Amino acid sequence: MRERFWEQFPLEELTRQEWEALCDGCGKCCLVKMEDAETGDVATLNVACHLLDIGSCRCSDYTHRFERVPECTQLSLQNLDQFHWLPHSCAYRRLAEGRKLASWHPLRSGSDRRMHERKMSVRHFGVSEADVDEADYEEHIIEIIPLDERP
């Protein structure tokens, strides 16, 4: 990867490896989201995909995730604007909005330790969907993004 590529090049010019490296590994994109059919509001739950290893905040089957979980998030430059629910801390969102990477981001700090210490990952609040009955999902809502607050 090119040195400090996130500061030197726009998202459009990143290599696949650099694009992947932007992921801070917080696991927030792996949280279950529910869209209200009437209002269009999107609720984020503290419930994570069953493939997410909550301790490491990494997918346990990253290579085959789309076969195993068809609704898995496949973020790309072409569809980035569709993921309005990405957290404000997300590197993809930050760079797309013209902001810098957070100081705790692993590319800046050298490891994911600071991210976890700052409680920026799901490690501190996530539960696996394997442990939660879908009927109880409403009890696990941690954020609601109203339709009118989308970018």
Closest C-alpha to 11, from 98, 114, 139: 98
pLDDT score at 149? 65
| CB-based contact 28:90 (threshold 8 Å) | yes
- CA separation for the pair 69, 65 (Å, rounded): 6
* Residue-wise pLDDT tens digits, 48-61: 999 999 999 999 99
Could you list the residue range(s) of the whole structural domain that residue 31 is in?
Answer: 5-149
User: What pLDDT was estimated at residue 150?
Assistant: 58
Q: Rounded to an integer, what distance in angstroms lies between the CA atom of residue 86 and that of residue 84?
A: 6
The pLDDT, as a whole number, for residue 74 is 87
Q: What is the pLDDT, as a whole number, of residue 151? A: 56
Give residue 38's identity as a one-letter amino acid code: E
Q: What is the C-alpha separation between 84 and 145, in angstroms, rounded?
A: 9
User: Are 13 and 45 a contacting pair, CB within 8 Å?
Assistant: no
- Residue ranges for the chain with pLDDT beneath 70: 148-151
